[in-house]
Amino acid sequence: MPVPKRKRSRARRDKRFANKGVKVRSYASCSNCSEPKVPHAACAGCGYYRGRKVLNTKAERVVKRADALKEKQGKQAAVQNKLQGTPVQEPKSE
């Protein structure tokens, strides 16, 4: 019966099993925006899961931060104007 001459290294041995756990993922389309998404998970594009909004999307967070920044700057400008004694002008909202 043949016997190996040398010990097979761990790296050489483990290469054989490296891709054993890799599986092909299935995708479903979002019912709200039709973007591909992983089944049983919220859509990354619109934030909906089973017809309800459950996540804030990145675009919504950016808009919210910009609004908060404008509001903060408006308050700071009002305080500066009050300290200088000039009349307060409200920032124009779009």
Residue 17 within any structural domain of the chain: no
pLDDT average, residue stretch 54-59: 90
Residues 64 and 94 in one domain: yes
Instruction: Inform me whether the pLDDT recorded for 86 exceeds 90.
Output: no
Query: Amino acid identity, residue 38?
Result: V
Domain that holds residue 84: 58-94
Residue 36 within any structural domain of the chain: yes
Number of Cβ within 10 Å of residue 6's Cβ equals 5
6-53 tens-digit pLDDT: 999 999 999 988 888 888 889 999 999 999 999 999 998 899 999 999
Q: What is the pLDDT of residue 67?
A: 94
From residue 6, give the alpha-carbon distance in Å to each of 9, 10, 16.
Answer: 9, 12, 18
Residues 63 and 94 in one domain: yes
Specify the number of domains making up the chain: 2
Q: Which of 41, 21, 16 is nearest to 30 (CA)?
A: 41
Whole-prediction pTM = 0.50
Residues 51 and 34 in one domain: yes
Residue 78 within any structural domain of the chain: yes
Q: What distance lies between CA 91 and its chain's CA centroid?
A: 31
Residue 19 within any structural domain of the chain: no
